[in-house]
Amino acid sequence: MKITDIQLGMMRVPLKTPFKTALRTVESVDDIVVSIHTDTGHIGHGEAAATAVITGDTHGAIVAAISTVIAPRLIGRDVADLNALTRLVQTALERNTSAKAAVEIALYDLFAQLHGAPLYRILGGGDPVISTDLTISVDYIDKMVADALDAVERGYGSLKIKVGKDMGVDLERIRAIHAAVDGRALLRLDANQGWTPKQAVHAMRQLEDAGIEPELLEQPVKAHDLAGLKYVTDRVHVPVMADESVFGPVELIELIRMRAADIVNIKLMKTGGISNAIKLADIAGLHGVDCMIGCMIESSISVAAAAHLAVAKADVITKVDLDGPSLCAWNPVEGGVRFDEAEISIGEAPGLGIVSVRGVQPIAS
Ligand SMILES: C[C@H](N)C(=O)N[C@H](CCC(=O)O)C(=O)O
Ligand SMILES: [Mg+2]
């Protein structure tokens, strides 16, 4: 199975409701779709999210990285040599993790198709049904409470509450949601770097005093501030999770050496795809550090790949935040992984199981 062409397209899928964090507000998935064509007629699919405030990646940079740097290295190569191909992708250029992720996802999709098995089986197998949380965007308190109650009604057992905007109001937000949900869902807090280390410790102690025990606190402080993250981890009972602070193995090893966090959030758009995500899970597992698998604002192409990985690495990836497809107004993918509110289930179709993708505008390269 030889690679003959790599095509790029732009996909827009509106979200059901605006997605709001301490870092940004976004109303649609606007992602680059990668299709890798082969001489056997098989097509591998991938997707890159341009989350400039986190990865630094923009649409223009993703398109340029793939079309001018990565694709020329892959054309004519055999999909059977997956490890050689992922090395070519990872060493093609520095950073550009979302572009690398999209290409790797499509390569793994093809590799699994080559072997006639769903990707999770190629990655080691597992129970193909997992549960995701749902994100509650940071907003007016009444709106967040209503969104949280709606999510509980829809069957979500874990809610990821976005905070990090204003410490005083954030505490009110959490207290109000905690009271309304009344034990029917676990509360994960994600400050997206919005607090100082001292504010984060103060906030968690206030919650403790009020008898509120969130399941975890995600990325309370600036991404580069590992010392600040450790300051919080050392002083609160709530498990602290690193998200924006950890992209790849190098950051994870430093985080573990410093004992700066209790959990790490693995996202394909940060790791540059599946090969490094496997390394992160293995390093974390070796050190007894649990992982969450997360996503950016992505659709059911790249989130499907993350779901396959989560199934295969379920011993280490114990928490799932793959709600991108649930946030979308419609599903652009025919076939593939089934996203039904909290339940994500993977079928037995080879690769990612994607039959076709709707609403993609070709990008001339
Ligand atoms: C969508 C997912 N639940 C999530 O919250 N991801 C964010 C970043 C998403 C973005 O800004 O695109 C996170 O975990 O920080
Ligand atoms: Mg996060």
Among all bound ligands, the one having the nearest atom to the CA of 325 is 1
Q: Is 133 annotated as a binding residue?
A: no
Annotated catalytic residue: which of 162, 230, 270, 319? 162
pLDDT beyond 80 at 346: yes
Determine the pLDDT at residue 91.
Answer: 98
Residue 243 has pLDDT above 80, yes or no: yes
How confident is the model over 176-187, as a mean pLDDT? 98
The reply to whether ligand 1 has any atom less than 6 angstroms from the CB of 294 is yes
Asked if 309 and 118 touch (Cβ cutoff 8 Å), the reply is: no
Query: How many CB atoms are closer than 10 A to CB 90?
Result: 18
Entry pTM: 0.98
In the residue annotation, 100 being an active-site residue is answered as no
Residue 299: is its pLDDT beyond 80?
yes
pLDDT of residue 340: 98
Q: Would the CB of 243 count as within 6 Å of ligand 1?
A: yes
pLDDT number for residue 264: 98
Q: What is the pLDDT of residues 65-95, one digit of tens each?
A: 999 999 999 999 999 999 999 999 999 999 9
The domains of the chain, with CATH numbers, are: 3-116+359-363 (3.30.390.10), 121-356 (3.20.20.120)
pLDDT at position 336 is 95
Our CA dihedral for 154, 160, 161, 164, rounded to 10 degrees, sits at -160
* Cα(271) to centroid(ligand 1), Å: 15
Tens of pLDDT, residue by residue over 252-289, are 999 999 999 999 999 999 999 999 999 999 999 999 99
Residue 365 has pLDDT above 90, yes or no: no
Q: Which of 100, 230, 267, 270 is catalytic?
A: 267
Task: Give the span between the Cα atoms of 154 and 135, in whole angstroms.
Answer: 13
Question: What is the pLDDT, as a whole number, of residue 188?
Answer: 99
Categorize the per-residue pLDDT at 236 as very low, low, confident or very high, splitting at 50, 70 and 90. Answer: very high
Res 359: pLDDT:
92
The stretch 169-181 carries a mean pLDDT of 98
Query: Ligand 1: which of 28, 53, 190, 193 to mutate, most ligand atoms within 8 Å of CB?
Result: 190
**Residue 16 assigned as binding residue:** no
Ligand 1 pocket test: pick from 16, 21, 192 the residue with the most ligand atoms within 8 Å of its Cβ. Answer: 21
Q: Note if 16 is an active site residue.
A: no
The reported pLDDT for the residue numbered 155 is 98
Query: Which residue has the least CA distance to atom 13 on ligand 1?
Result: 296
Alpha helices of the chain — where are they, by DSSP H? 52-55, 59-64, 71-74, 82-92, 97-114, 119-122, 141-153, 167-181, 197-209, 226-235, 249-258, 268-271, 274-286, 302-312, 324-327
Residue matched to tokens 């940004």: 24
pLDDT value of residue 260 = 98
Q: Is 313 flagged in the annotation as binding?
A: no
Contact in structure between 146 and 177 (CB atoms under 8 Å): no
Nearest CA to ligand 1 atom 8: 296
Predicted local distance difference test score (pLDDT) of residue 25: 98
The yes-or-no verdict on residue 168 having pLDDT over 80 is yes
